[in-house]
Amino acid sequence: MRTPDAYTNSVLDFLDQAEPGKSFTIEKLCKKENREQFIAAVKLYIRSYDYGGGVEFNSTYTKIRKMEIPPEAWRDLWEYKRKKSRNKMLNQ
């Protein structure tokens, strides 16, 4: 994977630090000329984490929201991955 540039890194850092439960309007977060790069960075963030890191777009890509991921979801994901790994070992 290519190393992100400084702008992409700044967007990823923002998303890491964003408070769960908050929504953000993209036009307030970036300049018009950076909109496509901003959206691409958010998409990279979402693809890089389980549950999209808790980040989602609205349907028009004008807002993003950071959600709290409940502990039960993490527990269920851990259980699923553990079972999947165990089955893979048994089937080799």
Domain ranges of the chain: 6-90
Place of tokens 């691409």: 40
Report whether 53 contacts 17 (CB < 8 A): no
The confidence score (pLDDT) of residue 50 equals: 87
The order of strands in the sheet holding 63-66 is: 23-25, 63-66, 55-57
* The two structure tokens encoding residue 61: 């890509």
* Per-residue tokens: 83: 């079972």
pLDDT tens readout for residues 25-47: 999 999 999 999 999 999 999 99
Can you give the pTM of this predicted structure? 0.78
The type of residue at 83 is K
Residue 45 structure tokens: 């963030």
pLDDT over 90 at 10, yes or no: yes
